Amino acid sequence: MVSLPTTSADPRKDEFYGALIERTVRGLVDTLGAGNLEAVLLIGAPTRGEATVVETPDGLYSLSDIDLVCVAAAAADRADLDRRLAPWRGDLNEELQSCTKGVDVSVRTRDEIASLPALIATYEMLRAPTVVWGDPNVVQCLPTMKIDEIPQADGLTLLHNRIVEALLLHGHVSSARPDRYATLTILYGTAKLALDAVTAILYAERNVPPGYGERVEVFRNAVLAGNAPLRGRLADYVDDLAPWARFKTEGDLDGLAEHLGGPTVNLDELAREVWRRYARYADVFWREILGRLTRTDAGDTGLVDTTALYAGLESVPRSIGRTWRLSRRGAAPDGLFSARALLKGALFASPRQRAYLTAVVAYLALAGAADPDVADHLVRKYSPFRAPAGHPSIAADGGRVPLLESLARFHEALLLGRRPGRR
């Protein structure tokens, strides 16, 4: 039996998202076999009643993924479960593409969920662990965690991930023939960037309420009130935060569009304009968090000097060790990294940090928030990815397309842990 949480304060949206959960869970259990599973957990903002479901001309559409964790039975063949899961997940995503942005499922053992690392993603999951099928007592295996246990550097990782995701929307942003679902995806990606930048700062402050609306209030009234430089740099964005939060938690697309562009705004044009505008917002948060970690005032430094701060994020032995591990056969997709670039940058930062840095610089440049010549120089200097001969500018197709393809593979394989071709 599928047990559905309340995923939205709007009954219609709650029923819609709940039906998607039920369809997914029933198919998942049928595919993997009830005897192979102890439980299925729903994770993410929908467990807190904050599923992003919006009205479209074709009906309701969920911008929130359906993100599930399967807890495998002790006797289950884990490799067999993974083999069965992959084609079913791909077929289901294709079937539901007119209803939701995506379905993601991972398989874990009891031991694995009991030893989840002290990270922001884990802490968020532990706030509302929700069993939608199977043994509800599985949640007792989850670790206890205090917010002080989360490394300060994980806030930068959260921001990095949202910037990578924003950058990978460039294809939608630059499309000559906009599509309504692409437009919604751009707005949703920008919303996640806007709100999770706030979340990253709040984790550094050790004061993170559960809901996005509450987080915005704490950020405005507690953080910005005591940080005049940051308040000044964000002056053009602060009033946007509450509408972003309502969009993320209630699917209030009309309110967001009217706030950002007026009652007659063209939504396709607005989404692309906002994507570019929020690069400067991302830059402010990036400098703030990076400066806190390196004990430097990075708010007004030049881009070259700011990127140099990455040398202070890891010790040299740790950077070399991480470089060596990622250079081993099978550790990364074939052809993703350049062996020469990996070795050349090992004393500066690990390949993952340099990939993040490359994404930040590329986003700022492609959105018009950084000098393209400076960006090209920094990408050539720090990128760990295999590059075309001659290192063409990222403003040109010959440089931009390979770089975005590499970052997409990095995102799928190393950040999300997905195998090639998994959807």
Q: What percent of the chain has pLDDT over 90?
A: 88
Each residue's pLDDT tens digit, 338-366: 888 898 899 999 999 999 999 999 999 99
Among residues 117, 147, 177, which one ends one of the domains? 147
Residue 256 forms part of a structural domain: yes
- 88 with 108, same domain? yes
- 205 with 348, same domain? yes
pLDDT in tens, the chain (423 residues): 889 999 999 999 999 999 999 999 999 999 999 999 999 999 999 999 999 999 999 999 999 999 999 999 999 998 999 999 989 999 999 999 999 999 999 999 999 999 999 999 999 999 988 999 999 999 999 999 999 999 999 999 999 999 999 999 999 999 877 788 999 999 999 999 999 999 999 999 999 999 999 999 999 999 999 999 999 999 999 999 999 999 999 999 999 999 999 888 899 999 999 999 999 999 999 999 999 999 999 999 999 999 999 999 999 999 999 999 998 888 899 999 988 889 889 999 999 999 999 999 999 999 999 999 999 999 999 999 998 988 899 999 999 999 999 999 999 888 887 654 443
- 190 with 335, same domain? yes
Domain encompassing residue 79: 11-147
pLDDT at residue number 136: 95
pLDDT at residue number 418: 67
Domain count, the chain: 2
pLDDT at residue number 149: 97
- For residues 68 and 31, what is the distance between their CA atoms, to the nearest angstrom? 14
pLDDT at residue number 422: 41
Residue 45 forms part of a structural domain: yes
- 158 with 135, same domain? no
Among residues 125, 147, 169, which one ends one of the domains? 147
Residue 6 forms part of a structural domain: no
- 90 with 162, same domain? no
Among residues 96, 128, 147, which one ends one of the domains? 147
| Sign, Cα dihedral of 316, 317, 319, 320 | positive
- For residues 187 and 172, what is the distance between their CA atoms, to the nearest angstrom? 11
Which CATH number goes with the domain that contains 121?
3.30.460.10
pLDDT at residue number 177: 79
- 76 with 142, same domain? yes
- 17 with 42, same domain? yes
**pTM for this prediction:** 0.95
- 33 with 100, same domain? yes
- For residues 45 and 150, what is the distance between their CA atoms, to the nearest angstrom? 19
Long-range CB contacts (within 8 A, 24+) of 355-359: 355/383, 355/384, 355/385, 355/407, 355/410, 355/414, 356/157, 356/160, 356/163, 356/164, 357/307, 357/310, 357/382, 358/382, 358/383, 358/384, 358/385, 358/403, 358/407, 359/160, 359/163, 359/164, 359/167, 359/407
pLDDT at residue number 419: 56
- 247 with 142, same domain? no
Residue 5 forms part of a structural domain: no
Residue 127 forms part of a structural domain: yes
Residues 6+ apart with CB under 8 A from 277: none
